[in-house]
Amino acid sequence: MMIFSDPLNLLFLAIAAIAGFRLWQVLGKRSGAERILPIRDFKTQPLPADLELTASTEPPARNTWQGHAVEGSDLAKNLDTLAQSDVHYDSNAFLLWAQTAHESVLNAFANGDIKALDPLLDATTLALFEKEIARRKAADETTIFKFVAIKMATLKHVSIQNHQALIEVAFKSSVYSAIKNAAGTIISGDDKRAVEIDELWTFERNLKNSTESWRVSQTHDLNEYA
């Protein structure tokens, strides 16, 4: 045949045969079970998905005084100072916690639950609450109490002295509250009608101790001064 008599054709056939043999060596022996190595992805610029993931993992900006004080006021400046001393402080988060603490303290006091009061009050305030609980028990008085809602919680004053931070919060709450004597007669309050209470609570914490939590150091009934 003329195709095998032409040297140039023979050269092309030889090259094709060698290429075919090499291809068979690479692909012809695969059984289908071999692990296919992934293609390496060398990136020099982050993809949009990477940017979104980075943004989602960044902590949200803290709120120090915005929405709680007038810019440039003493309260705003003191809140900024507190936030600089306590890198975890956030006014929004603190007020949410303070409202929970407010409700918890009122319920625990009404129930005479000293164990629940212990982590929320400082030593002096806890002693005063314990004294009143003991007095009620000795007089055989019964407290009727139901917390309805907190209508307002407002930051009023902030100060730091010798690493001791102090925050005053004004609360306006709605509650049912009454006290019955041993005979079952109501001697104070009203168990049938919810009333609003206005109080000013002081929370304190030692900023040098990172594990110490805020505690109530004073409570004042603002209605007494109205």
Beta bridge pairs of residue 154: 170
pLDDT of 115:
98
Return the percentage of the chain with pLDDT > 70, whole number: 72
Given a cut of 60, whether residue 226 has pLDDT beyond it is no
Give 85-121 pLDDT, tens digit per residue: 999 999 999 999 999 999 999 999 999 999 999 999 9
Please say whether the beta carbons of 201 and 166 come within 8 A. no
Give 28-67 pLDDT, tens digit per residue: 444 444 444 443 443 444 455 554 555 555 667 899 999 9
Give 64-80 pLDDT, tens digit per residue: 999 999 999 999 999 99
pLDDT of 61:
82
pLDDT of 49:
54
What CATH number should be reported for the domain whose range is 62-225? 3.10.450.240
Q: What are phi and psi of 47, to 5 degrees?
A: -75, 165
pLDDT of 162:
93
Q: How big, in percent rounded to 5, are the helix, strand and coil portions of the chain?
A: 40, 30, 30
Residue 130 Cα distances to 110, 137, 171, angstroms: 11, 11, 22
Residue 175 CA to residue 193 CA, distance in Å, equals 8
Please say whether the beta carbons of 179 and 169 come within 8 A. no
Please say whether the beta carbons of 129 and 117 come within 8 A. yes
Token pair of 160 as six digits: 């730091």
Given a cut of 60, whether residue 210 has pLDDT beyond it is yes
Given a cut of 50, whether residue 216 has pLDDT beyond it is yes
Q: Is the dihedral of CA 51, 53, 55, 58 positive or negative?
A: negative
For residue 89, what is the DSSP state? -
